Amino acid sequence: MTQADDRRGLAGVATRQGLEGAVAEEAPLPQPAPAPRVIPVGRGAREDRLAALDGLRFLAALSVVLFHFVGQTPGAMVVVWGRPYQSTFPEAHAYFAFGRLGVDLFFLISGFVICMSAWGRTPRDFFISRVTRLYPMYWIAIVVSACVIYFADTPFGHPNPRVLFANFTMLQTPLGVSNLDPVYWTLWPELCFYLTFAVVVWKGLTHQRVVIFCGLWTVAAVLAPSAHIPLLSLIVNPTSAPYFIAGMAFYLMHRYRPTPLLWGIVAMSWLLALHFLLAPHGGRVNWATWAPWRGWLILVTTVFFLVMGAIALGGTRRIRWRGLTVAGAMTFPLYLLHDTIGMTVAHHYGDRIGPLALVVATVTALIVLSYVVHRFVERPIALAMRRSLNTAAFDMQPPTSRS
């Protein structure tokens, strides 16, 4: 939302109120309920808040990276490091194991950012922005991961080539095919969110329509586990839905103002997130391999919601460091590349170099690699792809035959 849009919106409200006042003087009529007040957000304020989100997104990615290196489940750590996790990271493991919750923070941020980036866009624009955001880096990561997996000694084995081909579609989950890299599992909930939210984008985003979408998705997420309809659960993603929904509600607070209805959506999403997080079966946590004190799970999730609330309400306006935007741009490459490369490095050198020094060196190298890949590979491909799609015809009409 630009400053000019805000001025036009406020001018329209003022004009409408003036006309309603003139009519009221002639004949008293019941007045309609006031529309949500749009808070003018200048360019600088938006950049500040986006910088905070970018920094938060990078921290979420970094927490997942450190979880895979330090906080993994006992079985995985034995495979990667070649020795029991107790002797590898005897004290740090228990703390970095909470890094797996960084994925939940990803989903929370995604609900906010996708709603913001789709506002005022046509379905075509939304489709192009999402495709060019996800697929170029995803395809690059698959090529890199495939090279590592098939041509190096890794703890991931050598999956059937069919797995590779299915993964290129990003539809491996509904196809019933395993992920080439375990971290790819998060892409299906994201893709489902884009596909379902595209219906609202097609109708045109408004405060009311986003609220209705949040409500319908909440109901579907609650009913899906007991409905025993696999297709419904596959599309709704009950355990991930509360974070996306809360993120959208936070953006509505950011764009308009906080209301009891929006706080109610956030509160309901928070409760459902905790329900799925603490569920003994079919939730977010496998209690057979990781059984932390429940209070820490509640505390960490609550902090996520509080931080997003602070960003939505303008508590991060003074955060203006441009480096956070750069860090945010590296988030997706870092997330997609770290697991296969990092675990292979640990697998080969875990018994030769001190674990802590190896983790620090590997994470630093992965951050540098992520920047290089984003700057010199992903971005040029995405720009070329965006130019091609912007000039493509989407009217489903056959091309004109050559005479």
Query: What is the extent of the structural domain holding 338?
Result: 41-389
Range list of H helices, 204-321: 207-227, 230-236, 241-255, 260-278, 294-312
pLDDT reported for residue 128: 96
324 part of a folded domain: yes
26 part of a folded domain: no
258 part of a folded domain: yes
Measure the CA–CA gap between 292 and 277, rounded to whole angstroms.
12
Instruction: Annotate 249-284 with b (16+ C-beta within 10 A) or e (fewer).
Output: bbbbbbbeebbeebeebbebbbebbbebbeeeeebb
268 part of a folded domain: yes
Question: Taking the model in full, what pTM does it have?
Answer: 0.86
17 part of a folded domain: no
Number of domains in the chain: 1
Q: What is the pLDDT of residues 150-167, one digit of tens each?
A: 998 887 888 999 999 999
Nearest to 345, CA basis, from 92, 69, 56? 69
Burial class (CB in 10 A: 0-12, 13-18, 19+), 225: middle
Tokens coding 318 = 């003074």
143 part of a folded domain: yes
369 part of a folded domain: yes
pLDDT reported for residue 36: 46
Tokens coding 351 = 């018994």
Splitting the chain (403 residues) into consecutive groups of 10 residues, what average pLDDT does each group show?
43 42 38 43 43 96 95 73 76 92 97 96 95 97 95 85 96 96 96 96 96 98 91 95 98 97 98 95 83 94 98 91 93 97 91 91 97 97 95 71 56
395 part of a folded domain: no
pLDDT reported for residue 26: 39
Q: What is the pLDDT of residues 377-394, one digit of tens each?
A: 999 999 999 999 998 877
Burial class (CB in 10 A: 0-12, 13-18, 19+), 170: middle
